[in-house]
Structure 1
Amino acid sequence: MPVCLLVGAGPGVGEAIARRFTSGGYSVGLISRDAAKLEAMAGRLSEADATVAWHAADAGDAVALEGALMALTDSLGPCDTLIYNAAVLKPATVLELETDRIEAELSVNLLGAHRAAKRVAPGMVERGRGAILFTGGGLALEPFPEWTSLALGKAALRSLSLSFYKELAPQGVHVSVIAICGIVAPGGPFDPERIAAEYWRLATVPGGIEDREVILQPTGTDPFYNDPERRYAETSRLPEHAR
């Protein structure tokens, strides 16, 4: 049975991804900080006879994250798909923000992603297959001052993902960064189940270089979702989103 490890297994997108992969025949390992919420999520997923394991760890804590990844691969088997969905979502403008806080939040928004990918990539290369999927965001493409720290993390994560893609794709391992450019809510254009279906596609039938970066911005959705009052409309140049 193939194995999916999900770092940042929270409600919404995280649980929808876990549900999609268990329904597709994967064993799923869940990692996040809150043990009680992880246990409850694992219980809901296991009601459908899924094989689910979990381990509580802060993605920004190198020792804890390494330990969680090791424990889950020991119990479930080698990782076939890694999904890094962890992030610190705390607003502060570029002038308000303390540099020490940026450093602390990058431990989750960027460094944990690097550690997790480095942990599973060698086994994937050895087997000649696998997928590593990073949850990005529109802030990597056009930052806004209130979300400076998260924007820095997402921009760096985008670069990291593209570097991993260039190194690993020739060895049979697909890497994608998925920018979710909107507010996740059931029934809307950014419905968690629809987003999870895209992660499933990228893990199982990726389209090569065309899928090294996937930008989820459905037609008609607001590209200024990070600036709803349009305070920065005259100083922003929003990209042409692909999806």
Structure 2
Amino acid sequence: MKNCLIVGAGEGVSRAVAKRFGTAGYRVGLISRNATNLQRLAADLASDGVKAFVATADAGQATELVGAMEALIGQMGACDVLIYNAAVLKPGNALDVSTEQIAAELEVNLLGAHRAVSIVAPGMIERRQGSILFTGGGLSLEPFPEWTSLALGKAALRSLAISLFKELSPKGVHVAVLAICGIVEPGGPFDPEEIANEYWRVATNPTGLADREIVFQPVGTDPFYNDPDRVHAAVSLPPKV
């Protein structure tokens, strides 16, 4: 049986992804800093027939994250799919957010991802198989000043993902970043179950270069979702759908 680890587990995308992998026969490991929410999520997944292993850790705290991942791998076995979904979602304009805040949030938005990869990648390389997926966002493609710190993190995460793709693809490991360019809501164009199906496809049946980056923006959705009042429309070039 294969194993999928999700760092930054919660409702929405990660719950849907956990269900998608779990119902397909994967063991699922969940890491979150909120123990109460983590136990609730595991109970919800159990009602869907998914057995989830859990470990509490703040993705921005190196010792906690490493300990949680090693504990889950010890219980479940080697990681076949790593999904990094952790992020700090704090607004702040470029000249208002402090340098210290940006540095602290990059611990979660970027450095935690690198730490997580450093734990699972050696085994994947040795087995010449595995997938590493990062949850990105439209801010990595077109930043808006109200979300300066998160945009910096997502842009850096995108760069990390593409660098890892180039390094690990020849070694049998697929790496991808999936930019979800909208608000995740059940029944909407960014339905978490539809997004989870795309995570599943990219992790289990990637097409190579075409799947190093997925921009999830269904036709007709608003590329200015990070700027709903069009404050920055005159100085923005949102990604073409």
How far residue 240 of structure 1 moved from its aligned partner, in angstroms, is: 1.9
CA contact (8 A) 1:79 1:120 kept: yes
> Which residue of the partner structure matches residue 186 of structure 2?
186
How far residue 47 of structure 1 moved from its aligned partner, in angstroms, is: 2.8
Indicate the SS of the match to 2:215. strand
> What are the Cα deviations for residues 53-91 of structure 1, in whole angstroms up to 9, with x where unaligned?
000100000000000000000000000000000000010
1:53-64 correspondence to structure 2 within 5 Å: 53-64=53-64
> Which residue of the partner structure matches residue 9 of structure 1?
9
> Which residue of the partner structure matches residue 114 of structure 2?
114
Name the aligned partner's letter for residue 42 of structure 1: A
Matched, 1:162 2:169: no
Indicate the SS of the match to 2:94. coil
Q: Give distance in 2, aligned partners of 1:131 and 1:51.
A: 21
Matched, 1:66 2:66: yes
> What are the Cα deviations for residues 154-191 of structure 1, in whole angstroms up to 9, with x where unaligned?
00000000000001000110000000000000100000
Q: Give distance in 2, aligned partners of 1:50 and 1:230.
A: 42
> Which residue of the partner structure matches residue 206 of structure 2?
206
Q: Give distance in 2, aligned partners of 1:46 and 1:123.
A: 29
How far residue 239 of structure 1 moved from its aligned partner, in angstroms, is: 2.1
How far residue 51 of structure 1 moved from its aligned partner, in angstroms, is: 2.7
Indicate the SS of the match to 2:156. helix
CA contact (8 A) 1:26 1:51 kept: no
TM-score between the two structures when normalised by the length of structure 1:
0.98
> Which residue of the partner structure matches residue 38 of structure 2?
38
Name the aligned partner's letter for residue 197 of structure 1: N
Q: Give distance in 1, aligned partners of 2:177 and 2:117.
A: 13
Question: Which ranges of 4 or more aligned residues in structure 1 deviate by more than 3 Å?
Answer: none
> Equivalent pairs: percent with the same residue?
63
How far residue 48 of structure 1 moved from its aligned partner, in angstroms, is: 3.6
How far residue 49 of structure 1 moved from its aligned partner, in angstroms, is: 3.6
Q: Give distance in 2, aligned partners of 1:26 and 1:211.
A: 22
> Which residue of the partner structure matches residue 228 of structure 2?
228
- Structure 2, unmatched stretches of 5+, are none
CA contact (8 A) 2:19 2:48 kept: no
Q: Give distance in 1, aligned partners of 2:215 and 2:36.
A: 33
CA contact (8 A) 2:3 2:80 kept: yes
CA contact (8 A) 2:32 2:57 kept: yes
> Which residue of the partner structure matches residue 153 of structure 1?
153
Name the aligned partner's letter for residue 32 of structure 2: S
Matched, 1:215 2:215: yes
> Which residue of the partner structure matches residue 26 of structure 1?
26
> Which residue of the partner structure matches residue 75 of structure 1?
75
CA contact (8 A) 2:4 2:82 kept: yes
CA contact (8 A) 2:141 2:239 kept: yes
TM-score between the two structures when normalised by the length of structure 2:
0.99
CA contact (8 A) 1:177 1:214 kept: yes
Q: Give distance in 2, aligned partners of 1:56 and 1:118.
A: 19
- Structure 1, unmatched stretches of 5+, are none
> Which residue of the partner structure matches residue 172 of structure 1?
172
CA contact (8 A) 2:137 2:181 kept: yes
Indicate the SS of the match to 1:135. strand
